[in-house]
Structure 1
């Protein structure tokens, strides 16, 4: 099926987490995303575990693979002026340019917005440094964990009265920042198709993260209330927790939004109805500990109680709901072989929007891009390799 972004070309200078995931979304939607890489400074997540078969290598990282499906990879040593000229020739044939370098890096390379707009006035140019391209903190550098601390997400996470626990992962890199960036590029692309004009988008990743904390920010600025971490509880909920069940380190998450679900929980567990939370919590924990987490979750769901087993990674892969949604995709990678990939967490009724190709090998498509888009001969390509430009 034709994909929503078929025919859109993206020159992707992003690397590591948030930027790569933003352009992966576009690539899975059908855009031709050309990832600019170099052997002189390899994308950090190419060197990050887990590695296929436990064997490390620039083409064997599962982390990199999942962030870069459906893309093509081209080698360009951007420290060479001739390589920058080649990059500008590619930009002249593209609709979008994306990078998540620190502020000022693209300008120093000769690939800042002004330089790019000279060769392509209609370009949509997204930069997504940590604090944006302007302001007193523009040169600060960081990744998801730092953004979680700066924006206060860590302050809100953990058990009340204890040190912040964090989210267990670099949450800003995986959800808010790539999501905001992809949405911004799609909105700008729609605007360009309606008006013929490009846009410069300066997205500070800390600001995208702050956008997810609106209620907490308002509570502080309007009410002067600095909310403490909630632990496993939830604001406005009658009761909620994550409890151990029968089995080896098996757990279940249960939520009772109102007293009605609480009474249904007691009935499902065979406990006396009408018991208050304070008096019944010990009995609830004991009853839950005697049940299997999957069996109990099904029984609670049947009673109208939000509940789910806490799954290990192998159990997530085998989860019936994800299987039904066809979330997992197996793609044949040139070096890693048949490899499991995440699909996009959404589906379209009339368009396919899931990964089409595995992540590329480092520089895998350099020659074909040079031939197809730049009109270079095999000899010219060989000469560029010899002079360290395509490296």
Structure 2
């Protein structure tokens, strides 16, 4: 076996498109693919996720695929926590997610897709408090693009991974399948379309779909609009065409080495508000946008938003846990501003002063006592938790910080 080794110490989309994809395709025709990452120092999901999906496709076709992992223990640990090692081993096992990213997950049904997306949104919601509309825009794009995989890939396995980079105010999404490509499905409805480039250009126009009985053709077009509203980047690789949309620019399409399926990446800015309805449909559309399943959906009940502390964390002893929970709570509350909020402490026997200060006291100080208790209510606190909360809230309000 002749091993394929990247010429760069960084594996990203450019390296995948220009080096790895053509080399893997040529090696697969011979019958075996070997990938050597021993000298690579940085891995981006835009470079590794399609490699893993493609190797999975090759394995299904009977092509032997082997990997040489990075040499540094830190890199191997990152591969493990990112779910990449499990993926190349062909197993879907439970991997604790890192604070800012989810492990790579594959899906082949609506149920497994929903589970992967719910985990992704939970991770994002805990990272920080996002400006209004950002998480709904991210969720809309994830829902639509993964649904395209389920509907149009011909039963192929889909892959999804989400990473938040809070210091850069960015969220990165990668969705890929190695089934029927976009350009193939477009030709089923538009047989007159010539090149793959033309097919991909047509695919991202609103209302373009293979079959109007199945879909309305808003997914890719809407995702590009959301990315534009968030000053983000979109890359779509399908067949021998690759589309790139940069902030403030129209989509551009170029020829690319053939990819057997569809690979979509989005890099979205998260430092400004977005009106998702306006981004998707324009300012004159009278129907307000409501996602079919907003990320806060599972918390909304008859009495309003119910945030059960015991369901959200396994520990209540430090500020880091408190910060993650208050970020998620505020993102949920911001997503449904007209709903009352119940913070339910049932089953929480012990919570430290540090946790309660970070989770509760700072929130009350920020909202203001009157505003907080006009919308939020605290339920099922035992005496110890209640008295500790009373103390840290009083201290926080007294210091005014």
After TM superposition, the score normalised by the length of structure 1 is 0.23
> Whose RCO is larger (CA < 8 A, sep 6+)?
1
After TM superposition, the score normalised by the length of structure 2 is 0.23
Could you say which structure has the higher strand fraction? 2
